[in-house]
Amino acid sequence: MSRYQTFINKYPLYAETALLDELRAGDYARLDREGHVYLDYTGGGLYAQSQIEAHFALLREHVYGNPHSSNPTSMAATRLVEETRAAVLAFFHADPDEYDVIFTQNASGALKLIGESYPFDANSRYLLLFDNHNSVQGIREYAHARGADVTYIPVALPDLRIPADRLQAALDAPAPDGHNLFAYPAQSNFSGVQHDLSWIEYALQRGWDVLLDAAAFVPTNRLDLSQVKPDFVSLSFYKIFGYPTGIGALVARREALAKLRRPWFAGGTITVVSVQAERYYLAEGHAAFEEGTVNYLGIPAVKIGLDHIQRIGYERIHNRVAALTGWLLDEMSALRHPNGAPAVKIYGPTEITARGGTIAFNFYTAEGQPVPHTEVEAAANRHNISLRTGCFCNPGAGEIALQLSKPELAACFAQPGHDQRLSMKDFRNCFDQKATGAVRVSVGLASNFADVEAFLHFARHFIRLK
């Protein structure tokens, strides 16, 4: 029996995703034309040729101007921006009377808006997981600066999931006289773990505002905001469909948005401002948060991308990603050295239940020593395989997965010369014989069986050299 038939027997839903093979041969033909194995979908999605053509046709055939006016080209641009805003709400099944959309540079830009505008004070709490992107972690600096309490909940080995009892206890104890913000990812960008969305309602019922980082989740899973209702959702559109880059969104409940307090004003965010009287009046809703001129030529490409995903269907994308991820997990877990020692250590779940298409791991030698992740990336580059290495802007999950302890980290940071600057090379030198980063492969809507087989062939060849 062929390996493909074995794969189909184990993951039969893959056979129902044939439309994606047709798209691969057309919209994504450049992958096979260049002989490229792309396994970095958590880093960035790939755009379809049809998306680019539709966007270029729009720009080629019409004239659009800065929206902040009422002339014909400005109104034409405004119409496309607002159509896209409505399309984003519809895509996530968000009631426009309940939710608003703020266009940002990316998910990090959306998170920065929350950090600088959330009404933290000495009576407030900021609760978050170890397993969060750096841009969620960074909000703690705004909280600290205003005297708020910052509490971390670790994730637990081996699956890197939330210890339910610890999170429940923390959510049961909001600050009684202040604002309380709970932030967590729908899916880990480190391990692929999908954290339970039921924590949203649990937290809301106890008086928390909830910030859901959906950037790693929504490329292959539907987020339905008619069923779960976080106060704030951050995302980047290029993660979902590759193009355009430089545009993200904060999808926010209007009631929660009204709590935010902007620390400054800028063009586009005000209705009236006076120099002599030193007064200003902020605009309402999304306009108060979209600083300067929005990317009015790029934003229409977001609607084109959303339409592309809708035509494919989330179920089809999800099923393909789950099947390919399952096969990778099975095959990687089985890799052994001639002496029987495991050649791969996977960080996170080794089953496909409640996990996405992101796999973090390290190769190990037959003697049990980690292979430097930089060495793996260099070897993969020579085989035209795009993967990612490091901590993936998620140091908390990495510290747990790689078992880097707080005393070890503190000792590293306290070394001479490390008070202001610390390079990754210096950081690695702090930890003798320990991995300080990992390798990450991730699959997405344009991935196929040949991609994962090419990686597995590379992996088998790589470990033979170790």
* Active site amino acids: 393
d(CA 55, CA 325) in angstroms, rounded, equals 32
Largest alpha-carbon pair distance within the chain?
A: 81
Residue among 441, 412, 361 at smallest CA distance from 160:
361
d(CA 88, CA 76) in angstroms, rounded, equals 19
Residue with tokens 């409505």: 86
How big is the chain, counted in residues?
Answer: 466
β-bridge partners, 364? 370
d(CA 113, CA 139) in angstroms, rounded, equals 9
Contacts of 76 (CB under 8 A, 6+ apart): 62, 63, 64, 65
Cβ(216)–Cβ(182) below 8 Å: no
Q: At what angle do helices 164-171 and 198-205 cross, to 10 degrees?
A: 30
d(CA 430, CA 408) in angstroms, rounded, equals 8
d(CA 332, CA 324) in angstroms, rounded, equals 12
Long-range contacts of 224-227 (CB under 8 A, 24+ apart): 224/92, 224/93, 225/92, 225/93, 225/94, 225/95, 225/99, 225/251, 226/93, 226/94, 226/95, 227/93
Pairing state between β 209-213 and 232-236: parallel
Pairing state between β 388-390 and 438-442: antiparallel
d(CA 367, CA 384) in angstroms, rounded, equals 29
